[in-house]
A = this chain, B = another copy of it.
Amino acid sequence: MDDRVREHAEVLVDWSARIEDGENVVCVASEGTHDLAVAVARAVGERGANLVTLSGSAEIERAHLLGYGEHAGIDENDESDRSDENEGDGAAEDVEFAEDPAHELALYRNADSVLVLGGGRNSAALADVPAATRQAASRARTGVREARMATDWVSTVHPTRALAQQAGMSYEAYQEFVYDAVLRDWEELAEEMARVKQVLDDGSQVRITNEGTDLTISIADRRAVNSAASVAYDSHNLPSGEVFTAPAATEGRVRFDLPMTIRGRRVRDARLEFEDGEVVDWEARAGERVLREVIETDAGARRLGELGIGMNRGITQLTDNVLFDEKLSRTIHLALGRAYDACLPDSETGTDSAVHVDLVTDMRGDSELLVDGEALQRHGYFRWEEGFEGRSDE
């Protein structure tokens, strides 16, 4: 076995999930992640913890969803997501699946940790599951989801050929990319990110300037999250490597020069203008229609739910996977829609939107990030980094 797979498993089990003697662990292994699942099983065993490994096969999930949808009267070939039986009397939203299967619920309620190994053999495996089926299944499993989220859960990614393809990379190069992002000195990064968190927690206003960007964001009363890829930091993704908070108010304009795939469509060079916290104007060189769809989802989708600062120096290129892209070092990302409750005062909740869509901007040029008027970052370098004083070197 590739040593890196073993190291990945150790980081996941020890740093991220903090698994200890006697704990009950669930591992969800998608297709193509068997090597990592074996290494995780070894590490979990060595810690004296119990293990149940679930199949996370998207093809098995699809088959069950299609079968169950058919049983419930959803026509899988009907693109309008209305079944024949429901015709006339309403949309497929009326279809309900049985709620929270008792055996699955009991499994998660008795679990201490859940490790999700993403990867898969085809990132489009669920593409033909009707939206009505997905929605009904999702609504029916709220309790299961909550039970899962109540554990020390961590989601990670095994470098599969399917993800390499999505990134437009060879398998070998993609493996190197993923392990560079995952196998880091997390303790050291967590310490550096703590400095950024401190500045944001102490500050009340952020101003970002860049080519096409001059944005002012109020962060008074907000708490930043030091997302250090560990449940000990309220951070549930491996890799992570970002500090993020929730904007309270936003004014100005921002340009996102890094391309993103949103709902299967490519968005390039998106520009947003904010007044009184809300998007009042937008444009994009490509994907303007999907951008409009996002913004017009609901009132919450016109506001910013997240300001994040990418700090994973192992991530040096875009791979069309937001979990990596948003952690790209020397970038900033903003999300339209939902905020994370962890960033908000106890009286507020961030769930006032159905969407959370991240957009990323490159800070390596003539840019600045100021907190209460003082520069925290210039050209994408923090004030404790060498590049901060000089001009952009890239």
What residues make up the interface of A, taking CB atoms closer than 8 Å to B? 21-22, 24, 26, 29, 31, 34, 37-39, 41-48, 50-55, 57, 59-61, 63-72, 98, 101-111
Give the Cβ gap from A161 to chain B, nearest Cβ, in Å.
16
Once bound together, how far apart are the Cα atoms of A21 and B107, in whole Å? 21
16 pairs, A vs B, C-beta closer than 8 Å: A24-B104, A37-B57, A37-B60, A42-B63, A47-B67, A47-B71, A48-B72, A50-B103, A53-B54, A53-B55, A53-B57, A53-B60, A102-B110, A103-B106, A103-B107, A106-B110
A-B interface, 10 closest residue pairs, ranked by CB to CB distance from nearest = A45-B67, A50-B101, A106-B106, A45-B68, A103-B110, A41-B63, A46-B67, A42-B63, A41-B64, A53-B55
Once bound together, how far apart are the Cα atoms of A107 and B65, in whole Å? 21
| A103 contacts B67, C-beta separation under 8 Å | no
Given A52-B54, A54-B52, A71-B48, does the pair A22, B104 have CB atoms closer than 8 Å? no
Query: Which of A21, A104, A109 gathers most chain B CB within 10 Å?
Result: A104
Query: Which of A42, A44, A47 gathers most chain B CB within 10 Å?
Result: A42
Once bound together, how far apart are the Cα atoms of A52 and B46, in whole Å? 26
Q: Considering only CB atoms, which chain B residue lies closest to A52 in the complex?
A: B104
Q: Copies per complex?
A: 2
Residues of B within 8 A of A67 (CB): 41-47
Give the Cβ gap from A92 to chain B, nearest Cβ, in Å.
16
Once bound together, how far apart are the Cα atoms of A63 and B5, in whole Å? 14
Once bound together, how far apart are the Cα atoms of A15 and B43, in whole Å? 40
Give the Cβ gap from A231 to chain B, nearest Cβ, in Å.
17
Once bound together, how far apart are the Cα atoms of A53 and B57, in whole Å? 9
Residues of B within 8 A of A110 (CB): 102-103, 105-106
Given A50-B104, A52-B104, does the pair A44, B22 have CB atoms closer than 8 Å? no
| B37 contacts A34, C-beta separation under 8 Å | no
Once bound together, how far apart are the Cα atoms of A42 and B98, in whole Å? 16
Given A22-B98, A42-B63, A45-B64, does the pair A106, B107 have CB atoms closer than 8 Å? yes
| A52 contacts B101, C-beta separation under 8 Å | yes
Given A38-B60, A45-B65, does the pair A52, B111 have CB atoms closer than 8 Å? no
| A41 contacts B24, C-beta separation under 8 Å | no
Give the Cβ gap from A165 to chain B, nearest Cβ, in Å.
20
Query: Which of A26, A29, A41, A61 gathers most chain B CB within 10 Å?
Result: A41
Once bound together, how far apart are the Cα atoms of A60 and B35, in whole Å? 9
Residues of B within 8 A of A55 (CB): 29, 37, 53-55
Q: Considering only CB atoms, which chain B residue lies closest to A34 in the complex?
A: B57
Give the Cβ gap from A49 to chain B, nearest Cβ, in Å.
8
Give the Cβ gap from A210 to chain B, nearest Cβ, in Å.
46
Excluding A48-B71, A104-B107, 20 further A-B contacts by CB distance (< 8 Å) are A21-B71, A24-B101, A24-B102, A24-B104, A29-B60, A34-B57, A34-B59, A34-B60, A39-B63, A41-B60, A42-B63, A42-B64, A44-B67, A45-B66, A45-B70, A48-B98, A52-B104, A55-B55, A103-B108, A106-B110
Residues of B within 8 A of A38 (CB): 57, 59-60, 63
Give the Cβ gap from A56 to chain B, nearest Cβ, in Å.
9
Q: Considering only CB atoms, which chain B residue lies closest to A47 in the complex?
A: B71
Residues of B within 8 A of A45 (CB): 63-71
Determine which of B21, B60, B72, B111 lies in contact with A103 in the assembled complex, contact meaning CB atoms within 8 Å.
Answer: B111
